[in-house]
Chain A
Amino acid sequence: MVNILLITFAISLIYMGIANRLSTYINILAVQGIILFGVSFIELIQINTINLIFILFETIVFKTLAIPLFLNYVIKKNNIVREAQPYLPDFLSVVIITCFLLGSFILSNIITGVHIRKMFFLVAISALLSGLFIIITRKKIITHIMGYLVIENGVFILSLSAGNKMPMLVNSGITLDIFVSVLVLGVFVNRIGNTFEEMNVDNLTNLKD
């Protein structure tokens, strides 16, 4: 069951490569939140109840509801163009993200000597790489944040793979989540929206040599 969920997560990464509209990105993030809810429920069922409830609450309320709704609100409020405006053609994005999946598959099979759960490792590393890829190749500031949230989800999966031994790690991952969502998303996105006409990275090129 866990494997099916993780494979769905990996497929959602590929789908992110061809997604054109910002609302599709938001939906993908929400779906990833539900997948993480499922994975953490199955994985962490043995740890103590309060901790479990906290983590589940975080995935379902934060990742699945609050962040997508908030992103929607930001897009509406700042009149952001609804297209993602990638620098690369969609086809190439899909090929590259597939290469990431393949690469992390090979990497997880090369590494020996440590009892790592391959599926978790594979999906986490490819989420990290695809998140960075999305940050680099998309034009909008809001898609940068979405790329960051994908990285975040990858880190969450990685921490789940060690989670039933060390719930403390999962918790600190969650604090990282809250830190970023509240500060970065809330304060600065709105500021940038108020200061510049369009929320593009082109506006952020004044500091250079």
Chain B
Amino acid sequence: MFGYYLIIGFLIGIVSMLNRNCMVRIILLSTFLAVQTAITVYAYFHLNEISSGYFKSDALGVIFLCVLTILSFTTFYHSFIYLKHRKDSSRSQSFYFAALIMLIIVMTCAYLASHLGVMWVFIELTTLSVAVLIYHERTPLSLEATWKYVFICSIGITITFIGIILLSIAIGETEITNFSFNAIPAQLLRVNTSWLKMIFLFMIVGFCTKMGLFPMHTAAIDAHTVAPPPISAFISTTLMNVGFVSIFRTYSIFAHTSILPWMNTILFLCGLISIIVSAAYLLKVTHLKRMSAYSSIEHMGLAAIGIASGGIGYFAAIFHMILHSFVKASVFYQIDQFHRNFKTYMINETGNYFNRNLPGALVFLLILISITAMPPSGLFVTEFWIFKALFTSEHIFIFILVLFFLSIAMYSLAKNFLYILFNQTKDLLPAQEKPNPSETLTQYFLLALVFYLGINPPSGMINLIQEAVKNLL
């Protein structure tokens, strides 16, 4: 089944690269979405089935595959709107959609890969396909951002590869070396501690480029700034989920060795410094997309802290990533409309959005509530669990620091969003165009999902998350 998915997906990708007709493009994209939905439903109902040798639909992969599939519908829709307003040539639209299809396919593979080397290859491929998309606007700025993204990601992925080679040297003395995620933990029990620490460090630094955690967070920020808004939505949600899945899997294969407390310290450090860095930059940021990017880094830091504190923290971290994906995607979809209204991303050149575009302004208001984790939003529940895990694992000092820097981040986000919504002191240019209110429906849908999942999570999802973390408890 998975083999068919790959073949059909790649074929659709190639055809949509060659095709120049708008009608055919819509048919191709809807076919692709149907195929993507089919593989998701199939994977959901065939949990833990191994397909094509290297892929396995385990719980962790299926959770994020569902998120990816939901977001691909909305991203395709908003990409159409974005491209229509930019009046791009048919050729560049074809490249855009072909790269987007490739990105979705390789991310699906990266989620479901059950083999360390295979996952590494597909993570490398995500860099390739997303680079095409970041460079879509063809300006000197986008060239700079793409160059930085590709270069930093390549170095990160090379560092991960060194970790994988060291791992293979460490466990290579047995007859059969098996690199699947199920088989590695048993082989690691004989390896000595300092060696394990070195392997973990190399692997985690590399994967941090994808997740946007502290030592390698810079690449993602610049990419967000120039990428088309629907693509930014993808970079800061599903692509960061790829990083999260890889870090979570790496953590799980080392979780039964003696270095567990040391690993937690490393993740605490990464997470805490990410939060500090993002809070510091949020105070002075002036670019709306960069602001959202820093807010993503803050949430990634929270997820890392959730993993590190253990217990209910594992559960909360995964749940947090799911909800964060929905919120952040709707932020970037709305930023696209916002940009069409003001023709700028600079926060201090805008204001009074409430009178200019009421539906969009309401979306921003709801986003502010969700992203700062105020009570009705689902993120409140997950952050509460993360803090609870911090408390039960007796990390009071980290708890206080996180709370302090989170409140700084909250203050800056609220200040900037409220400035955009209500500031009437400026004489602004008249709105360039009135966006169609129906374009905000997807954002309301995603935000409603965030509120609903927080209040009343469906039992299917809870079971999947519990299944994903059961090896760690």
Are A166 and B168 touching (Cβ within 8 A)?
yes
Are A148 and B155 touching (Cβ within 8 A)?
yes
> Contacts A152-B158, A165-B177, A184-B150; is A191 near B143 (CB within 8 Å)?
yes
- B residues near A191, Cβ cutoff 8 Å: 143
Are A183 and B150 touching (Cβ within 8 A)?
yes
Are B162 and A158 touching (Cβ within 8 A)?
yes
Are A204 and B144 touching (Cβ within 8 A)?
yes
Q: 1/0 per position for A138-156, CB-CB distance to B under 8 A?
A: 0001001000100110010
CA distance A161 to B150 in the complex (A): 28
Interface members, chain B 267-320 (any A CB < 8 Å)? 281, 284-287, 290
Are B154 and A184 touching (Cβ within 8 A)?
yes
Are B165 and A176 touching (Cβ within 8 A)?
no
A159 contacts the other chain (CB 8 A): yes
- A residues near B285, Cβ cutoff 8 Å: 209
> Contacts A111-B195, A209-B290; is A172 near B117 (CB within 8 Å)?
yes
- B residues near A209, Cβ cutoff 8 Å: 281, 284-287, 290
Q: 1/0 per position for A78-116, CB-CB distance to B under 8 A?
A: 000000000000000000000000000000001111111
Q: Determine which of B161, B226, B284 lies in contact with A207 in the assembled complex, contact meaning CB atoms within 8 Å.
A: B226
- Closest B residue to A154 by beta carbon equals B162
B439 contacts the other chain (CB 8 A): no
B141 contacts the other chain (CB 8 A): yes
- Closest B residue to A144 by beta carbon equals B151
Q: 1/0 per position for A159-197, CB-CB distance to B under 8 A?
A: 101100110110011011001100110001001100110
Are B141 and A207 touching (Cβ within 8 A)?
yes
Interface of A is mostly: helix
Interface members, chain B 120-154 (any A CB < 8 Å)? 120-121, 124, 128, 131, 140-141, 143-148, 150-151, 154
Are B147 and A192 touching (Cβ within 8 A)?
yes
- A residues near B124, Cβ cutoff 8 Å: 176, 179
> Contacts A188-B143, A192-B147, A207-B145; is A173 near B168 (CB within 8 Å)?
no
CA distance A152 to B157 in the complex (A): 11
Q: 1/0 per position for B84-107, CB-CB distance to A under 8 A?
A: 000000000000000000000000
A128 contacts the other chain (CB 8 A): yes
A48 contacts the other chain (CB 8 A): no
Closest-CB distance, A80 to chain B (whole angstroms): 16
Interface members, chain A 113-134 (any B CB < 8 Å)? 113-116, 124, 128, 132
Are A162 and B165 touching (Cβ within 8 A)?
yes
Are B141 and A206 touching (Cβ within 8 A)?
yes
- B residues near A166, Cβ cutoff 8 Å: 168, 172, 177
> Contacts A114-B192, A158-B165, A176-B161; is A148 near B147 (CB within 8 Å)?
no
CA distance A172 to B169 in the complex (A): 15
- Closest A residue to B195 by beta carbon equals A114
Interface members, chain B 191-231 (any A CB < 8 Å)? 191-192, 194-195, 198, 222, 225-226
> Contacts A155-B165, A204-B147, A204-B148; is A165 near B172 (CB within 8 Å)?
yes
Count of chain B residues with Cβ under 8 Å from any Cβ of A? 46
- A residues near B225, Cβ cutoff 8 Å: 207
Closest-CB distance, A95 to chain B (whole angstroms): 24
Are B140 and A195 touching (Cβ within 8 A)?
yes
B369 contacts the other chain (CB 8 A): no
Closest-CB distance, A184 to chain B (whole angstroms): 6
Question: Counting chain A CB atoms within 10 Å of each CB, which of B155, B168, B172 scores highest?
Answer: B155
- Closest A residue to B177 by beta carbon equals A166
Q: Determine which of B117, B158, B169, B286 lies in contact with A161 in the assembled complex, contact meaning CB atoms within 8 Å.
A: B169
B366 contacts the other chain (CB 8 A): no
> Contacts A111-B194, A114-B191, A188-B146; is A196 near B140 (CB within 8 Å)?
yes
Interface members, chain B 175-202 (any A CB < 8 Å)? 177, 191-192, 194-195, 198
Are A180 and B154 touching (Cβ within 8 A)?
yes
Question: Counting chain A CB atoms within 10 Å of each CB, which of B131, B150, B158, B195 scores highest?
Answer: B158
CA distance A116 to B155 in the complex (A): 24
CA distance A141 to B143 in the complex (A): 13
CA distance A207 to B287 in the complex (A): 11
Question: Counting chain A CB atoms within 10 Å of each CB, which of B157, B165, B168, B194 scores highest?
Answer: B165
B173 contacts the other chain (CB 8 A): yes
Are A192 and B169 touching (Cβ within 8 A)?
no
- A residues near B33, Cβ cutoff 8 Å: none
Are B143 and A169 touching (Cβ within 8 A)?
no
Closest-CB distance, B423 to chain A (whole angstroms): 21
| 14 pairs from A and B in contact (CB 8 Å cutoff) | A111-B195, A116-B169, A124-B162, A148-B151, A158-B166, A161-B169, A162-B168, A169-B165, A172-B120, A179-B124, A183-B131, A206-B140, A209-B285, A209-B287
| B binding-site residues for A, Cβ under 8 Å | 117, 120-121, 124, 128, 131, 140-141, 143-148, 150-151, 154-155, 157-159, 161-162, 164-166, 168-170, 172-173, 177, 191-192, 194-195, 198, 222, 225-226, 281, 284-287, 290
Known: A113-B195, A144-B151, A155-B158. 15 other contacts (CB 8 A): A111-B194, A114-B170, A151-B158, A162-B168, A165-B172, A168-B117, A169-B168, A172-B121, A175-B121, A179-B128, A180-B154, A204-B148, A207-B145, A209-B285, A209-B287
| A binding-site residues for B, Cβ under 8 Å | 110-116, 124, 128, 132, 135, 141, 144, 148, 151-152, 155, 158-159, 161-162, 165-166, 168-169, 172-173, 175-176, 179-180, 183-184, 188, 191-192, 195-196, 203-204, 206-207, 209
5 A-B pairs closest in CB distance: A113-B192, A207-B222, A204-B144, A162-B169, A195-B140
